[in-house]
């Protein structure tokens, strides 16, 4: 199976999806390795993961290189790898706490075989965000990264081969949709992150196999700027939230609602800052905006922009469609005004660096505009009055809201990770539940010899 390079457009890499039978044998061998992994205890598991972290660190340069090839951008890759090291440490800490909290009466059992189907947006983060907690819980984990960004798998495999205790219970497989579907049939619990459409399919497959599924999908993030907001801060945060990683983020801002009285002041700041951003066409290290991951995604962006323009939207920064440069597809950071709620760009996720800005008069209008999308989303509210921002935040149909910031800061500016800031129908990937969701309690009820037992008849 050929894989496209997002910077050159060339199909210069190839992956070999496992057949169902090979996958089945692999999962079976991991199942038989899992009891030893579990019974070795949490200290051992933490020790092994820390060792793996060190080996990943030794291979940081190579990992950066392949992830840069996979995604076409370097700055984001550097931040991504940093995030993963933090994730390993914070998960180890959480797991230690979790296993200290056990009651004597309950025995904890880990799901034996966990499947992870991850996405291309941040290939390493999403391959590991469920994997690390599951391993710490004591599960074996088989991971299928996106077929759009598979180049890092070989480097990961090389590092795993150096951690004898981990290799039997952690395995990465190459493959596309079919391989992911197979995992739903072969494992005991499935984790998925991707589009809502795929999330629905994976959940249905899990239901068919009668196993739990933890699925997370995109929301169409919204930023709301109140009349008394610090416009300097609001425009910087919203721009970053909208165009970071070329807009290819789950919690990224894709809609902006601004109070009518400050609309033009805000817009001029936003447009000014947007016009300073450059495309990273020459190489992956320089310029703010990298390539769009695939032709399919560029088409969605082009279609939404065309629909908006046809319905009267005006482009005040950026351009009306993706451009092709040296084989890569790029979308200029783009600001739209004169947008109306019936445009696709106001309703459907596009994963592009595009910010449509609409004004509002009353807070109720802002709320009803923001809540007009079908699923929950990431919110951001800007106001110098924290209380009014908070009151508004509570009325938004969001899984998470940032006040005077965007939720991306939560992840990439070193803040604490808060549970449930993504759209998900199940438990969060973050916080205590991140470990606990891979554990089942087995209750053991001990009766003392002298316990009175009334069995009704005896």
Smallest distance, a copy of itself to C-beta of residue 289, A: 10
Closer by beta carbon to a copy of itself, 55 or else 425: 425
Closer by beta carbon to a copy of itself, 55 or else 403: 403
Give yes or no for a contact between 351 and 248, defined as CB atoms under 8 angstroms apart.
yes
Q: How far is the first Cα of the chain from the last one, in angstroms, to the nearest whole number?
A: 69
Smallest distance, a copy of itself to C-beta of residue 273, A: 6
Give yes or no for a contact between 263 and 367, defined as CB atoms under 8 angstroms apart.
no
Smallest distance, a copy of itself to C-beta of residue 440, A: 6
Write out 62-87 in H/E/C secondary structure: HHHHHHHHHHCCCHHHHHHHHHHHHH
Please name every residue paired with 171 in a beta bridge, in sequence order, or none if there are none.
Answer: 142
Three-state secondary structure call for residue 219: coil
For residues 448 and 445, what is the distance between their CA atoms, to the nearest angstrom? 10
Residues at the interface with a copy of itself (CB under 8 A): 75, 105-107, 199-200, 203-204, 206-208, 210-213, 230, 233, 236-237, 239-240, 244, 273, 276-277, 288, 384, 386, 390, 393-394, 398-405, 407, 409-410, 413, 415, 418-421, 425-426, 428, 440-449, 451, 453-458
For residues 177 and 417, what is the distance between their CA atoms, to the nearest angstrom? 30
Smallest distance, a copy of itself to C-beta of residue 216, A: 13
Smallest distance, a copy of itself to C-beta of residue 129, A: 16
Closer by beta carbon to a copy of itself, 153 or else 206: 206
For residues 240 and 288, what is the distance between their CA atoms, to the nearest angstrom? 10
Closer by beta carbon to a copy of itself, 275 or else 294: 275
Closer by beta carbon to a copy of itself, 333 or else 356: 333
The structure tokens listed for 179 are 């391989």
Smallest distance, a copy of itself to C-beta of residue 12, A: 29
CA dihedral 335, 342, 296, 407 (to 10 degrees): 60
For residues 179 and 424, what is the distance between their CA atoms, to the nearest angstrom? 23
Closer by beta carbon to a copy of itself, 57 or else 386: 386
């Amino acid at each position: 199976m050929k894989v496209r390079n997002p910077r050159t457009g060339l199909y210069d890499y190839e992956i070999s999806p496992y057949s169902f039978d090979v996958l089945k044998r692999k999962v079976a061998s991991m199942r038989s390795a899992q009891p030893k992994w579990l019974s070795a205890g949490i200290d051992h598991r933490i020790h092994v993961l820390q060792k793996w972290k060190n080996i990943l660190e030794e291979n940081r340069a190579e990992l950066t290189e392949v992830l840069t090839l996979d995604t076409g951008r370097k700055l984001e890759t550097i931040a991504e790898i940093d995030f993963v090291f933090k994730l390993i440490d914070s998960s180890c800490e959480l797991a230690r706490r979790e296993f200290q909290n056990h009651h004597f009466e309950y025995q904890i059992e880990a799901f034996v075989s966990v499947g992870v189907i991850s996405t291309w947006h941040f290939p390493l983060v999403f391959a590991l965000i469920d994997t690390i907690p599951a391993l710490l819980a004591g599960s074996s984990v088989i991971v299928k990264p996106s077929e759009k960004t598979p180049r890092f798998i070989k480097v990961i495999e090389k590092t795993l081969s150096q951690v004898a205790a981990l290799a039997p219970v952690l395995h990465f497989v190459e493959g596309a949709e079919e391989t992911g579907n197979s995992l739903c049939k072969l494992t005991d619990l499935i984790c998925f992150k991707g589009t809502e459409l795929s999330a629905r399919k994976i959940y249905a497959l899990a239901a068919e196999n009668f196993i739990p599924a933890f699925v997370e999908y995109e929301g169409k993030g919204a930023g709301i700027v109140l009349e008394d907001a610090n416009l300097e801060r609001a425009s910087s945060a919203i721009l970053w939230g909208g165009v970071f990683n070329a807009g290819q983020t789950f919690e990224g801002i894709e809609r902006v609602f601004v109070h009518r009285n400050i609309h033009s002041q805000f817009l001029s700041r936003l447009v000014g800052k947007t016009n300073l951003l450059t495309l990273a066409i020459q190489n992956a290290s320089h310029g703010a905006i990298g390539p769009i991951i695939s032709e399919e995604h560029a088409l969605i962006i082009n279609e939404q922009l065309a629909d908006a323009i046809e319905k009267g939207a005006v482009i005040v920064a950026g351009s009306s469609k993706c451009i092709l440069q040296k084989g890569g597809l790029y979308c200029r950071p783009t600001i739209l005004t004169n947008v109306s709620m019936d445009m696709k760009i106001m309703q459907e996720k596009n994963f592009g660096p595009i910010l449509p800005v609409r004004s509002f008069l009353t807070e109720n209008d802002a709320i009803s505009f923001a809540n007009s999308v079908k699923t929950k989303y990431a919110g951001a509210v800007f106001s110098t009055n924290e209380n009014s921002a908070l009151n508004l935040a509570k009325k938004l149909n969001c899984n998470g809201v940032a006040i005077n910031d965007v939720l991306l800061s939560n992840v990439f500016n070193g803040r604490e990770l808060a549970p449930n800031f993504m759209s998900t129908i199940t438990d969060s990937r973050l916080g205590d539940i991140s470990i606990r969701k891979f554990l089942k309690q087995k209750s053991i009820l001990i009766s003392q010899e002298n316990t009175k037992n009334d069995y009704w008849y005896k």
